[in-house]
Amino acid sequence: EAQVTQNPRYLITVTGKKLTVTCSQNMNHEYMSWYRQDPGLGLRQIYYSMNVEVTDKGDVPEGYKVSRKEKRNFPLILESPSPNQTSLYFCASSLDSYNEQFFGPGTRLTVL
Amino acid sequence: GENVEQHPSTLSVQEGDSAVIKCTYSDSASNYFPWYKQELGKRPQLIIDIRSNVGEKKDQRIAVTLNKTAKHFSLHITETQPEDSAVYFCAASTSVGDYGGSQGNLIFGKGTKLSVKP
């Protein structure tokens, strides 16, 4: 089944404790992206990757890191999480940003 | 960079009526405009998209129109049903460069919560 998976789905953590949210797709898509969703602010792009070893900042990259060592995986890293990073995070993949994006199920992160 | 404005933020209609959601964008180079539907507690899913070489596209009860001169595009839902109740997002992307023509930055509007009353 073609899909985008994210783990964990829910996470409660404390300020400053490094965490990684994994994202994997099995559709051989070159393009992958991370978004955060906050009430009233819609979906805001954090980082995107157009191919292996190619990553670029989106609109809200501060406090986040990503890597794209393999085509299927695009982990989101929070080196020192803060409460303002409490949000719902979505990973997505597609052929490129000019085609349908397939979203993962989302990760709800709470930083205390 | 690109900025996408979406209106209204909430929309309530009676079942069977039509619903229209409008978006404006700032970057005249944008040429791909998708619409996503997000039901409560679920992930966004594409419902329709349009590219700048087309002025209108229809898929059953859903249509999207694009006015490149005015830099706005709209989603039209006819004969609304309760299952159309969801949050709808518009987005804009610019196609340039080497990777099959995609720049990579997809900018979303803030969303419209549509409620269809039975």
Residue A42 sits at the vertex; the CA angle it makes with A39 and A48, to the nearest 5 degrees, is 130
Tell me which residue has tokens 């009430």.
A39
Which structure tokens are listed for B112?
């419209």
Q: Is B111 touching A (CB cutoff 8 A)? A: yes
Per-residue pLDDT of chain A (112 residues; tens, 9 = 90+): 889 999 999 999 999 999 999 999 999 999 999 999 999 899 999 999 999 999 999 989 999 999 999 999 999 999 999 999 999 999 999 998 788 999 999 999 999 9
Contact residues for A52 (Cβ-Cβ < 8 A; gap 6+): A68, A69, A70, A71
Chain B hits for A30, CB-CB cut-off 8 Å, are 99
pLDDT at B102 (0 to 100): 45
Q: Do B106 and A97 touch (CB under 8 A)?
A: yes
Q: How many angstroms separate the Cα of B103 from the Cα of each of A28, B48, B68, B79, B94? A: 19, 20, 19, 36, 6
Best residue of A6, A43, A52, A100 to probe chain B, by most B CBs closer than 10 Å: A43
Quick one: closest CA in A to B34, which residue? A100
Q: E-strand spans in B1-82?
A: 4-7, 10-14, 19-25, 30-38, 45-51, 56-59, 62-67, 72-77
Chain segment A24-56, per-residue pLDDT in tens = 999 999 999 999 999 989 999 999 999 999 999
Longest dimension (CA), chain A: 37
Cis ω before B8 (30° cut-off from 0): yes
For B25-46, the pLDDT digits (tens) are 998 888 899 999 999 999 999 9
Among A82, A80, A73, CA closest to A104: A73
CA-nearest residue of chain A to B1? A59
Give the closest of A41, A90, A96 to B99, CB-based.
A96
pLDDT tens by residue, B74-117? 999 999 999 999 999 999 987 654 444 446 688 999 999 999 99
Token pair 């994210």: residue: A6
